[in-house]
Chain A
């Protein structure tokens, strides 16, 4: 099937710094994208989403950027906190299909004090 991302990289940032997590997707037909956060021992939790007719969307301390030309998503976390430590996944789907989300392999974010 389609794959999103290749490895599980680790990003280490200091508390208070901004974090940028990147994701490459391969299905150019995908038109809806979601970022999930997965803390240890828990299920993935919705953070923010974006549709393909947008290139930027902001939430509370988080911003998602979408570049359809190069099939790239990024998640920016402002003023990273220890509670942000988790594995972050991007996911893609095509609106109108059977709601099938294809996940990337994730990025582990480690926040150091």
Chain B
């Protein structure tokens, strides 16, 4: 069983479009995250949700809107896509407390053309 699964794995879309990436975890974790990895492999946190509530928003443009229907799901919707949004987006989940490692999904490679 896949612990953290996100879909789609690849997403190619035109500028200005709206797209969503879905994420689900079956680990029973309370906290879920979205990370963005740029072309230089730098991983930066975008959002963190704990029990469906937003707890971290790292100055991400408001074109990015996470939605957590329940604590096992954290979807990422992106409006008006821009070329600079091209990256690999990783969903992750972790246990409560600051000492629990994050478990990552396989990533979604988003290419905006």
Given A89-B43, A103-B43, verify A42-B94 contact (CB < 8 Å). Answer: no
A51–B99 contact, CB under 8 A? yes
Interface size class of A (residues with CB under 8 A): 20 to 34
A106–B41 contact, CB under 8 A? yes
- Per-position binary interface string of chain A over residues 76-106, scored 1 when its CB falls under 8 Å from any chain B CB and 0 otherwise: 0000000000010100011111111111011
CA distance A99 to B58 in the complex (A): 13
User: For residue B55, which residues in chain A have a CB less than 8 angstroms away from its CB?
Assistant: 98
Q: Which of B1-55 contact A (CB under 8 A)?
A: 4, 31, 35, 40-45, 48, 50, 55
Interface stretch, picked from B67-75, B79-87, B100-108, is B100-108
Is B113 positioned at the interface, with any CB of A under 8 Å from its CB?
A: no
B residues contacting the other copy or chain, number (CB 8 A): 30
B98–A46 contact, CB under 8 A? no
Given A98-B56, A101-B45, verify A43-B105 contact (CB < 8 Å). Answer: yes
A/B interface sample: 16 pairs, CB < 8 A? A1-B44, A1-B58, A34-B101, A38-B41, A41-B106, A43-B104, A43-B105, A95-B97, A95-B98, A97-B98, A98-B31, A101-B101, A101-B102, A102-B45, A103-B44, A106-B43
User: Which positions in B face A, CB cutoff 8 Å?
Assistant: 4, 31, 35, 40-45, 48, 50, 55-56, 58, 90, 92, 94-107
Beyond known contacts A32-B99, A98-B98, A102-B45: 10 more, CB 8 A cutoff: A1-B44, A46-B101, A87-B41, A94-B98, A97-B98, A99-B31, A99-B96, A99-B100, A100-B56, A100-B98
